[in-house]
């Protein structure tokens, strides 16, 4: 392998496909025949992908094959578990989605069609969500007689509020793409078929940031947001000092002051 060849991505189960586009890695849920339902192999594959990302990958885009992002938990597997196994299974999902949320790089999720149950839990573990107009969101767990198990109780109330999550679970309410954008599920809303290109464009922009800033935003900011304010302010000061003292920041600041860096303008 030549010194400049990109490092290979981790081995994956057949239900996941990955490719590199320079510093961006694109991970595709590839189980369209089952509407990208998340079975054990797929969830474990997500965990190993994010745990084994090469250091020269700076951002990841997740998307789904076929008409839907994901139909959530593979319900066929659920019927085979007893109570103890179900707890272990949910904890396995927590581990896998923590590897997404607190993995090495920012993650952009491209959502279309059904983004339901565990599919919404996966999307909630990512940092930027792009919705195509076809996207809709639901938590059918209430209807199936089960409960969320992939971290939604923690992540979704922060994203959309506990009251909306209760409504989704108690009444089976679905939100369409416009509503999802309005309540904060997605940060970007694009035409059908345009999600992946938008996701990659955003990931490329993210990959240009100083790695330490991306670390601060994805690892430190969410911790500050959930700790007591007094500790949060101290943590923020420490992170700010660490980031600005970094040679990368020093160079970027100098570039701006010497008119080599772009200005912050309206897009
Ligand atoms: C599945 C699953 C699945 C589809 N597990 N096999 N999630 C749900 O309650 C959503 C269940 N799925 C659906 O409501 C629909 O499938 C969709 C609206 C997403 C798509 O409808 P459609 O008409 O395009 O597809 P389909 O005909 O319903 O499904 C195609 C195949 O995928 C079919 O299998 P086939 O062998 O008969 O062809 C379906 O059985 C299969 N399939 N969804 C297993 N979810 C950690 S806790 C998280 C808890 C949850 O995520 S609960 C939410 C579960």
Q: What is the pLDDT of residue 158?
A: 95
What CA–CA distance (Å, rounded) separates 147 from 28? 26
Q: What is the pLDDT of residue 231?
A: 97
**Which range has the worst mean pLDDT, 5-9, 33-37, 150-154, 251-255?**
5-9
Q: Does the pLDDT of residue 198 top 80, yes or no?
A: yes
Nearest CA to ligand 1 atom 36: 34
**Which range has the worst mean pLDDT, 54-63, 169-178, 198-207, 239-248?**
239-248
Nearest CA to ligand 1 atom 37: 34
| Catalytically annotated residues | 121, 141
Who's near 225: CB < 8 A, 6+ residues apart?
A: 158, 232
Ligand 1 within 6 A of CB of 76: yes
φ, ψ for residue 235, nearest 5 deg? -60, -40
Q: What pLDDT band is residue 125 in, cutting at 50, 70 and 90?
A: very high
From 30, 31, 33, 35, give the residue whose CB has the most ligand 1 atoms within 8 Å, as the site to mutate.
Answer: 35
> What tens digit of pLDDT does each residue of 34-78 get?
999 999 999 999 999 999 999 999 999 999 999 999 999 999 988
141, 169 Cβ separation under 8 angstroms:
yes
Residue 77 CA to ligand 1 center (angstroms) comes to 12
Q: Does the pLDDT of residue 117 top 60, yes or no?
A: yes
Q: What is the pLDDT of residue 3?
A: 57
Who's near 165: CB < 8 A, 6+ residues apart?
A: 139, 152, 153, 156, 157
Q: Does the pLDDT of residue 2 top 70, yes or no?
A: no
Predicted TM-score of the model (pTM): 0.96
Q: What is the pLDDT of residue 79?
A: 78
CA angle 251, 201, 3 (to 5 degrees): 60
Please report the DSSP string for 61-112 in residue order: EEEESTT-SB--B-HHHHTT--HHHHHHHHHHHHHHHHHHHTSSS-EEEEE-
User: What tokens were used for 92?
Assistant: 């396995």
State mean pLDDT over 157-168.
97
State mean pLDDT over 27-39.
98
Residue with the two structure tokens 């040679």: 247
State mean pLDDT over 105-121.
98
Q: Does the pLDDT of residue 1 top 50, yes or no?
A: no
Q: What pLDDT band is residue 228 in, cutting at 50, 70 and 90?
A: very high
Who's near 69: CB < 8 A, 6+ residues apart?
A: 29, 36, 63, 109, 110, 111, 112, 113, 114, 115, 119, 123, 135
* Segments of the chain assigned E as strands: 16-21, 24-29, 59-64, 107-111, 114-116, 128-132, 136-138, 175-176, 188-190
67, 135 Cβ separation under 8 angstroms:
no
Q: Does the pLDDT of residue 211 top 70, yes or no?
A: yes
State mean pLDDT over 196-225.
97
Between residues 219 and 80, the one the model is more confident about: 219
Q: What is the pLDDT of residue 267?
A: 77
Local structure of residue 33 (DSSP, 8 states): G
Ligand 1 within 6 A of CB of 114: yes
Between residues 266 and 190, the one the model is more confident about: 190
Closest CA to 164 of 145, 138, 143, 189: 138
User: What tokens were used for 171?
Assistant: 């009444």
Q: Does the pLDDT of residue 146 top 50, yes or no?
A: yes
37, 71 Cβ separation under 8 angstroms:
yes
């Amino acid at each position: 392998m030549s010194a400049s060849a990109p490092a290979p991505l981790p081995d994956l189960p057949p239900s996941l496909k990955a490719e590199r586009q320079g510093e961006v890695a694109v991970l595709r849920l590839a189980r369209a025949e089952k509407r990208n339902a998340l079975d054990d192999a797929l969830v474990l594959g997500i965990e190993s992908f994010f745990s084994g990302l090469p250091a020269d990958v700076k951002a990841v885009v997740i998307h789904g094959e076929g008409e839907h992002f994901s139909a959530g938990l593979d319900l066929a597997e659920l019927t085979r578990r007893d109570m103890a196994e179900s707890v272990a299974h949910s904890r396995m999902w927590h581990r896998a989605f923590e590897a997404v949320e607190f993995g090495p790089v920012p993650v952009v999720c491209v959502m279309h069609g059904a983004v339901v149950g565990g599919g919404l839990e996966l999307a909630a573990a990512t940092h930027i969500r792009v919705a195509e107009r076809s996207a809709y969101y639901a938590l059918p767990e209430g209807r199936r007689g089960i409960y969320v198990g992939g971290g939604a109780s923690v992540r979704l109330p922060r994203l959309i509020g506990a009251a909306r999550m209760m409504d989704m679970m108690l009444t089976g309410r679905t939100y369409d793409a416009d509503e999802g954008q309005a309540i904060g599920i997605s940060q970007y809303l694009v035409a059908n078929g345009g999600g992946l290109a938008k996701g990659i464009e955003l990931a490329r922009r993210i990959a240009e940031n100083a790695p330490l800033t991306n670390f601060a935003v994805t690892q430190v900011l969410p911790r500050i947001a959930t700790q007591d304010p007094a500790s949060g302010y101290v943590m923020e000061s420490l992170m700010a000092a660490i980031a600005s003292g970094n040679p990368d920041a020093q160079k970027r600041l100098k570039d701006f002051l010497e008119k080599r860096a772009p200005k912050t303008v309206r897009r």
